[in-house]
């Protein structure tokens, strides 16, 4: 027996949560899984598509709170996201096709924990945190890096749901997003990248953020490399060094795989290019 | 000038942009596809397959499945008389699984859901055997033998004295002149190897059929998304055990085929017929996309080894090649297709000494079959990169090397066929060079590429020709039936099939033109095997050029009979009577005013008069072309009655840091003899570019021990509208006496050169030899290593 609920409020939704719950937001992953034979019998499907409070973007104190069921297309069109986290609107623009962007949600993208998620690098860029609520109404927040354990696995407990994502406004930063796919639309990222940079008046780096997705089981932000760059100028040598370090770090974590042959040099090339473009 | 738009057109309907007769039903969604069919009391059928190959099935446990509510019948390969070879070489059911499409049991149930559940509940036990998957492995001395009939190589030639994996029937040699002597006179000789993978036709409609019994029709009736109705009838009769006269097949609207809905649909309808026989109820089978990718034939994977030599001035004196394709485990196509591959094995060039060997090898993969081009996209890809390489080695412009060596009127092809017809290939090259501003672009790109830039630009021209129709591969015979009715409307019926290529419209245009009636008067009756004679398959781009010959003859004959009627009525001669827009008139004078006040006679009045006078209103005609003299042992002789010519120029931008390719422009010029419908020809060419682009850059069936890894369109990457380049298509016309009203082929020529041109432009951008397809992200990075 399959139970199906379509709550209209978050409060109502929490009541339906059971240990066997499965959420459907945009369905762009779940429907594919179902076709592949994912068994939903004895599950409780909670349809999140009719909860208005779960959708939209709020701007509070230098932060954006993006509600979990905000679609990729909503994000692309949202003025605050465009202003504060340009990389995210660029990223969401590259998701699938118009149909997928109209249906797929940012919360779903985080919840399914795909290593090739397009919004993920941009969310991590802005210190993205997942806001989680449980059946009792208790809330907790977790950094994206901690929330995602491995592909398809997160720390979300059975009695919890994703409420929203909080990201820092990077309004003053120069930002970019870059995706490589096998075709220009409807492509799963072969690799994706997000970068943000804030410069001091003396042309030294005040803050820099670099994220690479689809290269490792979990999208990775390179905090250690970022830290070392603060106060430095973006010279040719620095660019070479950073791109080399990042690609080497990826290789060290991923180990020599068949896909590394392609991905490692390309990560180096693209980081190099993105940094050069930041410099201009 | 042979540009279509500059030519005078003496016809009223032929050569005009007539709207497709099936456009409305397709755009409004009212067209009836096979999967749309339902019958009362209908069952759904499904197939049980295993996931590893090759294997010997030892046990099938159906107990649990039989208990599922709604399951009506399960037939396994162990049931009496169940294992039966089909016309397509493979079995409807088998205990010896050789590839991913092989079926070990079939299920019929009241609902699709029950079928799926039953398939999951059937437990199949098997012993896995050692398999062979690649061309390289198949040719190894100690390779496991895939098929009993496979032979080995002796002195590089397939020979039945030795066991191996070569499919002997698919071996075609070409022996022209003396290559050893030819190479001795060459200043430059190069050798190159090329590889291309299996790809899928990737039509949107998957294979579907419905089998039932309508006692009025005979003993068994089938409807399906089949490309070849008569071919499909064979399976229907064979699997059900009925006479062909009792087996009726009706073709439904096709949602794409490109060669894919041939044997696959045949075997599907055969399995449905077996379930229908066992249950006495209508049975419908519809493939999922995954099943379609597993079961349907693929464009053959090929390995090419070429050697070619020229004088320092660029005169090509000798060419040698071994062309080996991957047949898969079963075959009913490679033995035909490889003949075409051999004929075109050294391209559209006049080369005095040619020696090529073309043969297929059996492997435990999905089988190669027909896909838009029937070997030409593969051969042209390799052949044209070889030309670019030779030009590079000679220090010569690659276009000039082609210009120097192309087939012209009164020159001889690789099969030593003397081309007597007009050839306008050089004129086409010049027009396309001009249109694309080729030489200034080439220089601009080369200068651009010298800079330290992550983008490299390339441009490349390829020249090709293609034998129109079946040629010496078979007999291009066909029949057509035309009948006028009393209200002046006309039904046309042919053994050739509408596969989406626009055949109905072209045939209706030809019939309307011959009769002098307007298009709205013609109704095309799609193929029903009870209503028309077997006219062979609608393949090889033969539909209009050869297949419409009988339609033209039938319409011509009916037109003559009617003109005689009118002439006799007024005591004048037939040559003075003409018909236009549904009215007969006297070309010099007018009809007597006492008959018709506006001095013309309506076509419908003639029809009506003839009906009530008991005079003939219908004509059936058969067309059989002159047989080509061709020696298959040495591949010499007249291969085809006529050839279509194509020039294609592609332009690309390659991001060498990521491997991403942007095809910026494709310009394609086609000489397809007389253009019957310019818009439809252009449509074919645009579609051909799209398919060629996929073949060039993204498409590849990924195989792991015979298992297809990318079994849906999320991972089998077709290009999208976002990947499309600017496209310019140019129509040329040349004179031929061979095709219907001078028409040659369009469907396959429209796509066969595109991947070669794109690969050539990638090669130009990178200054490398592109030696395999697709030009994936990874392969570009490797070229740059």
Interface test with B, best of A239, A266, A277 (most B CBs within 10 A): A266
Q: Nearest CA to CA, how far is A143 from chain B (Å)?
A: 31
User: Residues B347, B82: contact at Cβ < 8 Å?
Assistant: no
Determine the topology of domain B9-31+476-623 in CATH. Answer: Aldehyde Oxidoreductase; domain 4 (3.30.365)
Distances (CA, A) of B517 to B460, B503, B584: 46, 18, 10
Question: Residue B400: which pLDDT band, with cuts at 50, 70 and 90?
Answer: very high
Q: A interface mutation test: which of B695, B778, B779 has the most A CBs within 10 A?
A: B778
Spell out which residues of chain B touch residue A270, defining contact as CB-CB under 8 Å.
657-658
Q: How far apart are CA A45 and CA B184, in angstroms?
A: 76
What band does B599 get if pLDDT is binned at 50, 70 and 90? confident
Structure confidence at residue B217 (pLDDT): 87
- Whether residue B332 is predicted with pLDDT greater than 90 in this model: the reply is no
Arithmetic mean of pLDDT, B55-80? 97
- What is the mean pLDDT of the segment spanning B515-542? 95
| Cβ neighbours for B609, distance < 8 A, ≥ 6 positions apart | B565, B615
| Chain-centre distance for alpha carbon A22 | 21
Q: How many CB atoms lie within 10 A of CB B534?
A: 17
Quick check: B116 contacting A, CB < 8 Å?
Answer: no
pLDDT at A140: 98
| pLDDT value for B89 | 87
Q: Work out the pLDDT band at B511, boundaries 50, 70, 90.
A: very high
Q: What is the pLDDT of residue B590?
A: 62
Residue with tokens 């035909």: B336
Of B717, B718, B777, Cβ closest to residue A262: B777
∠ CA B260-B265-B268 to the nearest 5 degrees?
140
Q: In angstroms, how far is the first alpha carbon of chain A from the final one?
A: 60
Amino acid A280: pLDDT: 63
B86 vs B489, which has greater pLDDT?
Answer: B489
Q: Which CATH number applies to B298-471+632-784?
A: 3.30.365.10
pLDDT at A256: 87
Predicted pLDDT at B164: 97
Q: What is the pLDDT of residues B4-26, one digit of tens each?
A: 988 889 999 999 999 999 999 99
How many C-beta neighbours within 10 Å does residue B430 have?
15
Q: Does the pLDDT value for residue B245 go beyond 60? A: yes
In this complex, the residue of B721, B723, B781 whose CB is nearest that of residue A262 is B781
- pLDDT, tens only, B558-575: 999 999 999 998 888 999
Substitution target from A28, A29, A262, A267 for chain B, most B beta carbons within 10 A: A262
How much is the CA Rg of chain A, to the nearest whole Å? 19
Name the pLDDT band for B627 (thresholds 50, 70, 90).
confident
Complex-level ipTM: 0.95
β partners of residue B600? none
Other Cβ atoms within 10 Å of B561 Cβ, number: 18
Both structure tokens of B168: 């002997």
- For residue B105, which of B117, B118, B89 has the smallest C-alpha distance? B118
Poorest-pLDDT segment among A238-247, B391-400, B582-591: B582-591
From B528's Cα to the closest Cα of chain A, the distance in A is 36
Q: What does the domain layout of chain B look like in residue ranges?
A: 9-31+476-623, 34-130+207-286, 298-471+632-784
Once rounded to an integer, what is the mean pLDDT over residues B669-691?
A: 97
Label each residue of B140-188 as H, E or C: CCCCCCCCCCCEEEECCEEEEEEECCEEEEEEEEEEECCHHHHHHCCCE
The predicted model gives B535-556 an average pLDDT of 94
Answer yes or no: is pLDDT of A186 > 80. Answer: yes
Residue A167 DSSP SS3? strand
Alpha helices in B280-415 (DSSP H): 289-295, 334-343, 376-394, 398-405
pLDDT > 60? residue B1: no
pLDDT of residue B85: 84
CB contact under 8 A, B777 and A183: no
Of A180, A188, A273, the CB nearest to B660: A180
Which among B657, B720, B782 is the nearest to A269, CB-wise?
Answer: B657
Closest CA relative to residue B398, chosen from B308, B309, B459, B350? B459
Q: Per the structure block, which two tokens stand in for A202?
A: 């003396």
Chain A residue with minimal CA distance to B782?
A: A262
Q: Confirm if A130 and A32 have CB atoms less than 8 A apart.
A: no
- Read off the pLDDT of each residue in B637-645 and give the average, rounded to a whole number: 96
pLDDT digits (tens, 9 = 90+) for A80-128: 999 999 999 999 999 999 999 999 999 999 999 999 999 999 999 999 9
Going along chain A from its start, the domains and CATH numbers come out as 1-48 (3.30.43), 174-279 (3.30.390.50)
Average pLDDT, stretch A209-214?
A: 98
Search chain B and give the residue with CA nearest A94: B722
- What is the pLDDT at residue B594? 58
Query: Which pLDDT belongs to residue B282?
Result: 98
The mean of the pLDDT values for chain B is: 96
What pLDDT sits at residue B600? 86
Per CATH, which fold does B34-130+207-286 belong to? Aldehyde Oxidoreductase; domain 3 (3.90.1170)
| pLDDT at position B593 over 60 | no
Which residues of chain B does A32 touch, with a Cβ-Cβ cutoff of 8 Å?
Answer: 714
Give the pLDDT confidence score for residue B628 in this predicted structure: 84
Enumerate the residues of chain A whose CB falls inside 8 A of the CB of residue B776.
182
- Decide if pLDDT at B596 tops 80: no
Q: What is the pLDDT of residues A49-86, one digit of tens each?
A: 999 999 999 999 899 999 999 999 999 999 999 999 99
Q: Tell me whether the CATH fold assigned to B9-31+476-623 matches the one assigned to B298-471+632-784.
A: yes
Mutation test of the interface with chain B: which of A114, A180, A183, choosing the one with the most B Cβ atoms within 10 A?
A183
What DSSP string describes B680-734? HHHHHHHHHHHHHHHHHHT----EETTEES--STTTS----GGGPPEEEEEEE--
Integer Rg of chain B from CA: 27
pLDDT bracket for residue B370 (50, 70, 90): very high
Q: What is the pLDDT of residue B572?
A: 86
Contact B659 A185 (CB under 8 A): no
Shortest Cα distance, chain A CAs vs residue B185, angstroms: 44
Q: Which two tokens stand for residue B404?
A: 């120097």
Residue B685 has pLDDT above 80, yes or no: yes
The pLDDT of residue B592: 64
**How much is the pLDDT for B595?**
62
- Sheet of B123-128, strands arranged across: B96-97, B55-61, B123-128
């Amino acid at each position: 027996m399959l139970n199906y609920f379509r709550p209209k409020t978050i409060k109502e939704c929490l009541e339906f949560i059971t240990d066997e719950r499965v959420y459907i937001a945009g369905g762009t992953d779940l429907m594919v899984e179902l076709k592949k034979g994912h068994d939903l019998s004895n599950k409780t499907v909670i349809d999140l598509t009719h909860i208005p409070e779960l959708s939209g973007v709020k701007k509070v104190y230098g932060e954006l709170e993006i509600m979990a069921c905000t679609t990729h297309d909503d994000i692309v069109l949202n003025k605050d996201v465009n202003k504060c986290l340009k990389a995210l609107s660029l990223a969401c623009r590259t998701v699938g096709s118009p149909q997928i962007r109209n249906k797929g949600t940012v919360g779903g993208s985080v919840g399914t924990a795909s290593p090739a998620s397009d919004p993920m690098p941009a969310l991590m860029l802005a210190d993205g945190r997942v806001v989680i609520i449980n059946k009792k109404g208790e809330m907790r927040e977790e950094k994206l890096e901690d929330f995602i354990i491995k592909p398809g696995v997160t720390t979300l407990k059975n009695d919890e749901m994703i409420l929203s994502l909080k990201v820092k406004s990077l309004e003053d930063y120069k930002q970019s997003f870059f995706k490589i796919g096998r075709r220009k639309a409807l492509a799963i990222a072969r690799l994706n990248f997000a970068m943000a940079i804030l410069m001091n008046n003396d042309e030294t780096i005040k803050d820099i953020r670099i994220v690479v997705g689809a290269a490792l089981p979990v999208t990775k932000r390179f905090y250690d490399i970022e830290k070392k760059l603060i106060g430095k100028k973006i010279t040719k040598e620095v660019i070479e060094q950073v791109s080399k370090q990042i690609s080497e770090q990826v290789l060290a974590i991923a180990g020599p795989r068949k896909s590394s042959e392609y991905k490692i040099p390309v990560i180096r090339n693209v980081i190099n290019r993105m940094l050069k473009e930041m410099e201009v | 000038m042979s540009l279509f738009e500059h030519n005078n057109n003496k016809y009223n309907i032929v050569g005009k942009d007539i709207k497709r007769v099936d456009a409305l039903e397709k755009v409004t969604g009212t067209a009836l596809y096979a999967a749309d069919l339902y019958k009362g009391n209908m069952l759904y059928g499904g197939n049980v397959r295993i996931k590893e190959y090759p294997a010997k099935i030892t046990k099938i446990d159906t107990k649990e499945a039989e208990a599922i509510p709604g399951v009506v019948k399960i037939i396994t390969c162990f049931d009496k008389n169940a294992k039966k070879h089909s016309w397509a070489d493979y079995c409807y059911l088998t205990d010896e699984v050789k590839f991913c499409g092989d079926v070990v049991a079939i299920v019929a149930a009241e609902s699709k859901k029950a079928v799926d559940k039953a398939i999951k509940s059937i437990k199949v036990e098997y012993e896995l055997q050692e398999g062979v998957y690649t061309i390289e492995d198949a040719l190894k001395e100690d390779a496991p033998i895939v098929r009993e009939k496979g032979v080995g190589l002796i002195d590089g030639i397939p020979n039945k004295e030795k066991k191996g994996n070569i499919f002997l029937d698919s071996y075609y040699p070409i022996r022209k002149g003396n290559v050893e002597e030819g190479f001795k006179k060459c200043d430059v000789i190069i050798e190159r190897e090329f590889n291309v993978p299996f790809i899928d036709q990737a039509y949107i409609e998957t294979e579907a059929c419905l089998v039932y019994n309508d006692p009025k029709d005979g003993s068994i009736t089938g409807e399906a998304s089949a490309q070849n109705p008569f071919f499909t009838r064979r399976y229907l009769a064979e699997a059900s055990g009925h006479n062909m006269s009792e087996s009726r097949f009706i073709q439904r609207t096709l949602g794409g085929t490109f060669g894919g809905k041939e044997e696959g649909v045949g075997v599907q309808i055969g399995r449905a017929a077996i379930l229908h026989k066992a249950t006495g109820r209508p049975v419908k089978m519809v493939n999922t996309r995954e099943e379609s990718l597993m079961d349907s034939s693929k464009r053959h994977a090929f390995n090419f080894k070429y050697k070619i030599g020229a004088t320092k001035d660029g005169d090509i004196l000798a060419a040698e090649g071994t062309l080996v394709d991957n047949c898969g485990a079963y075959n009913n196509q490679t033995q035909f297709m490889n003949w075409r591959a051999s004929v075109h094995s050294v391209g559209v060039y006049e080369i005095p000494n040619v020696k090529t060997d073309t043969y297929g090898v059996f492997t435990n993969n999905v089988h190669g079959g027909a896909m838009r081009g029937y070997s030409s996209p593969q051969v042209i890809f390799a052949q044209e990169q070889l030309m670019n390489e030779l030009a590079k080695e000679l220090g010569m412009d690659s276009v000039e090397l082609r210009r120097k060596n192309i087939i012209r009127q009164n020159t001889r092809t690789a099969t030593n066929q003397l081309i007597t017809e007009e050839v306008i290939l050089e004129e086409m090259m010049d027009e396309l060079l001009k249109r694309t501003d080729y030489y200034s672009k080439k220089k601009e790109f080369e200068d651009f590429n010298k800079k330290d830039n992550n983008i490299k630009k390339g441009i490349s021209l390829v020249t090709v020709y293609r034998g129109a129709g079946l040629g010496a591969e078979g007999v291009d015979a066909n029949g057509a039936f035309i009948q006028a009715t009393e209200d002046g409307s006309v039904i046309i019926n042919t053994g050739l099939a509408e596969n989406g290529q626009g055949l109905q419209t072209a045939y209706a245009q030809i019939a309307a033109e011959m009769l002098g009636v307007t298009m709205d008067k013609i109704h095309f009756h799609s193929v029903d095997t009870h209503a028309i004679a077997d006219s062979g398959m609608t393949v090889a781009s033969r539909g209009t050029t050869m297949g419409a010959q009988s339609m033209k003859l039938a319409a011509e004959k009916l037109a003559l009979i009617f003109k005689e009627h009118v002439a006799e009525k007024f005591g004048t001669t037939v040559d003075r009577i003409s018909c236009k827009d549904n009215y007969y008139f006297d070309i010099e004078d007018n009809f007597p005013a006492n008959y018709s006040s506006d001095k013309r006679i309506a076509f419908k009045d003639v029809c009506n008069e003839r009906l009530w006078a008991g005079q003939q209103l219908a004509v059936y005609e058969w067309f059989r072309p002159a047989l080509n003299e061709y020696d298959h042992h040495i591949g010499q002789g007249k291969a085809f009655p006529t050839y279509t010519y194509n020039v294609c120029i592609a332009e690309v931008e390659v991001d060498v840091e990521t491997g991403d390719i942007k095809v910026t422009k494709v310009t394609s010029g086609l000489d397809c003899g007389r253009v019957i419908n310019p818009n439809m020809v252009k449509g074919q060419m645009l579609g051909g570019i799209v398919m060629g682009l996929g073949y060039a850059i993204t498409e590849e069936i990924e195989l792991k021990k015979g298992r297809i890894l990318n079994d849906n369109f999320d991972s089998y990457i077709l290009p999208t509208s976002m990947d499309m380049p600017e496209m310019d298509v140019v129509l040329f016309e040349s004179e031929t006496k061979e095709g219907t009203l001078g028409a040659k082929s369009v469907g396959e020529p429209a796509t066969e050169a595109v991947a070669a041109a794109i690969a050539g432009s990638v090669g130009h951008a990178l200054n490398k030899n592109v030696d395999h397809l697709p030009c994936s992200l990874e392969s570009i990075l490797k070229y740059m290593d």
